[in-house]
Amino acid sequence: MTPEAVTTAARLLADLRLGRGKDRSQLEDLPLACRPGSIEQAYRIQDEMRAMLAADGLGAAVGWKIGCTTSVMQTYLEIPHPCAGTLYRETVGHEPATLDTNAFFELGLECELAVRVGETVPARRKGYERVTIAPYVDTIMTSVEVVDHRFRDFGAVAAPSLIADDFFSFGCITGDEMAIGSVANVAALQGGFSIDGAPPEQTGRGAEILGHALVALAWLANHLLARGTSLQRGELVTLGSVVKTIYPSRPMTVQAVFDTLAPVTVHVA
């Protein structure tokens, strides 16, 4: 894939995200001339798009989202591996929040655990796993990831195109943070969505995120180090949805709840 093709794809996706261009409509896929044919090419496009979005309105990158970290989401998306995307300053907020469905192609909400990186993660010859990444985590919190479908039928689009587009990412809304050491068992945390005050219809546990939520963080640390960068002190990382994405079709109040963690309330208009 030529550098020019990478830039073309990045510009197309950035403009779509920012609401620019004559035809702001969902894509069937990226044009063949600039469509990534591999995961590596997809992350090259994502890198260029990140710089464009940061410069053109979304602000600096402040962290990462990890998608496809639970069996429910891997089955739903038919992608058997984690995928990373970027979080930006202007699209990360604290609860409560109000979202207007008219601002999205198709608004989706995901119930997630998120963590704050306490110290920059250095290179490590053996890479990271759950136990060795844990000392670099400062806090944990409930998060509602906000996603948007910029492709008309994501089931017909290969994983590289989805990754190039930040893997559905729009942003996230977080709850109050707790010291991770105060949570007795992250894997046992159980969460789900309450809609208009009703009990959650589906719930999932932290253990469903690759066996333990911090396994997902270790995957991201290794992924970034392999690409010549690293997790930085203060970055926010959303670790994956424990239940299937919901798509609000009417005004409602959605609350993400996880046992002892503070909830996140989102009003959908």
Q: What is the pLDDT of residue 77?
A: 78
Q: What is the pLDDT of residue 136?
A: 97
pTM of the model: 0.92
Quick check: 64 and 237 in contact, CB under 8 A?
yes
3-state secondary structure at position 117:
strand
Separation between Cα atoms, residue 73 and residue 75, nearest integer Å: 5
Q: What is the pLDDT of residue 237?
A: 98
Amino acid identity of residue 202, one-letter, is Q
**Tens digit of each residue's pLDDT (9 = 90 or more) over 179-205:** 999 998 999 999 999 999 999 989 999
**What DSSP line would sit under 239-259, residue for residue?**
EEESS--B---SSEEEEEEET
Which residue stretches of the chain have pLDDT < 70? 21-23
3-state secondary structure at position 260:
coil
**Tens digit of each residue's pLDDT (9 = 90 or more) over 89-131:** 999 999 999 999 988 999 999 999 999 999 999 999 899 999 9
Q: What pairing do the DSSP bridges indicate for beta strands 236-241 and 92-94?
A: unpaired
Q: What is the pLDDT of residue 68?
A: 87
H or E element in which residue 239 lies: strand 236-241
| Homologous superfamily of domain range 63-268 | Fumarylacetoacetase-like, C-terminal domain (3.90.850.10)
Separation between Cα atoms, residue 70 and residue 80, nearest integer Å: 9
